[in-house]
Structure 1
Amino acid sequence: MRTWLPLVVVVLLISAGLWFSESPPQQLLGKQPTPQQQKGAADLVIRDAKTRHFNQEGTLAYRVDADQITFFQFERRDRADLTEPRILFYQEHEPKWRTESRRGVAHNNGERVVLHGDVLITELPKPGGIKLNTQSITIKPREEFAETDKVVTITAGPNSTTGRGLRAFLKEDRVEILSDVKSSYETE
């Protein structure tokens, strides 16, 4: 019997520790969350999320992958917070544009996605495509359109262009820099 006693004590201590770490402080003190706190709580959390979106013809238009998606449903709108989001746009069944960033927020069932933190948009296939770098960009995935008012750097091999503000029409492979444009080109 004495050999089981230390094991039982260890299991009880681990169980109590897990219960305390997983229980919110309000629950431990017997307090109920206010209606305001309940409205601000996440409705759904998905880890290692992978979603696919198809166009009206039924072909894959784009996919969104993220380390985590935290979904909130409010009375008039919804929001999804994205951790390490990656969006891959397809053209004619082939991947064409890839976006990645540290975090993002999707609004209204993904109609508008705002990416923040080291945003990188890459034209595929690698190598040879252009790369766009900025700190924040708004993407409308269904329209394959992106825009920002932040500083953007576009590189293609040794050539680079920097400017403030950008509109990218991904379907048309067209990018417009809006102001303060500076370019550096290498000749062969």
Structure 2
Amino acid sequence: MRESNRAAFPLVALALMVALVWLSFGGERERADSGPPVREPQARYYATDVTLSATDDTGRPYYELTAPRAAYFPNEARWRIEAPRWHSLGARADWQGDAENAVVADLADGTQSVVLRGDVRLQRTSPHPLTLETPRLTLEPARHYAETDAAVTLRGPHSELRGQGARAWLDDERVELLANVRGRYASD
């Protein structure tokens, strides 16, 4: 009886090894392939050295966005833009900004929303210099409005404020930090 156990042991061990190999490779692949295939969105248009200008109802430009590359995705009705630089036109205050990437989408009212992501910087150079830095910012250029729920740093010539979330009314030269605000101010 002991001899039959010795002869069966290599067969049982081999069967276990085959089952383990099948489960770790073949079984996993079957489960992953059993669902519907995931399709990445396909860009319809690609452009390099891009300049997007938006105008109001009278044809007056209110912002301009430049970038080295952009792609339009018709299924999402969005532009995805690499390394955008943005500049307000016709606003009372001179604002400009940049980010690592952006998504531009049309809103229901016919205007556009620009979601800037990755080291977003929005600067006002005059009349009172101010820099807003955040990882993500939604800009509505037609309304001269921007907002974020992410961490924000505001820097002026003699001050630095940090907080969570911000709203900015660009024409009014007003920025509101929403929560957890801390700051320092150096007097002249």
Provide TM-score, normalisation by structure 1: 0.72
Number of the residue aligned with 2:117: 116
Q: Is the 8 A contact 1:168 1:176 kept in 2?
A: yes
Q: Is the 8 A contact 1:88 1:95 kept in 2?
A: no
3-state DSSP of counterpart to 1:91? coil
Unaligned runs of 5+ in 2: 1-37
Unaligned runs of 5+ in 1: 1-35
3-state DSSP of counterpart to 1:142? helix
Number of the residue aligned with 1:105: 103
Amino acid at match of 1:122: Q
Q: Could you tell me how far apart the structure 2 residues matched to 1:48 and 1:180 are? A: 40
Count, aligned residues:
149
What are the residue-to-residue correspondences of 1:133-172 with 2, within 5 Å? 133-172=133-172
Shift of 1:89: 0.6
Deviates more, 1:146-155 or 1:46-55: 46-55
Q: Could you tell me how far apart the structure 2 residues matched to 1:129 and 1:164 are? A: 21
Q: Is the 8 A contact 1:91 1:171 kept in 2?
A: no
Number of the residue aligned with 1:175: 175
Q: Is the 8 A contact 1:69 1:83 kept in 2?
A: yes
Query: What percentage of aligned pairs have identical amino acids?
Result: 26
3-state DSSP of counterpart to 1:135? strand
- What RMSD, in angstroms, separates the aligned Cα atoms of the two structures? 2.3
Matched, 1:91 2:90: yes
Q: Could you tell me how far apart the structure 2 residues matched to 1:64 and 1:78 are? A: 18
Shift of 1:95: 7.0
Q: Could you tell me how far apart the structure 2 residues matched to 1:81 and 1:52 are? A: 15
Q: Could you tell me how far apart the structure 1 residues matched to 2:90 and 2:140 are? A: 16
List structure 1 runs of 4+ shifted beyond 4 angstroms: none
Q: Could you tell me how far apart the structure 2 residues matched to 1:124 and 1:88 are? A: 11
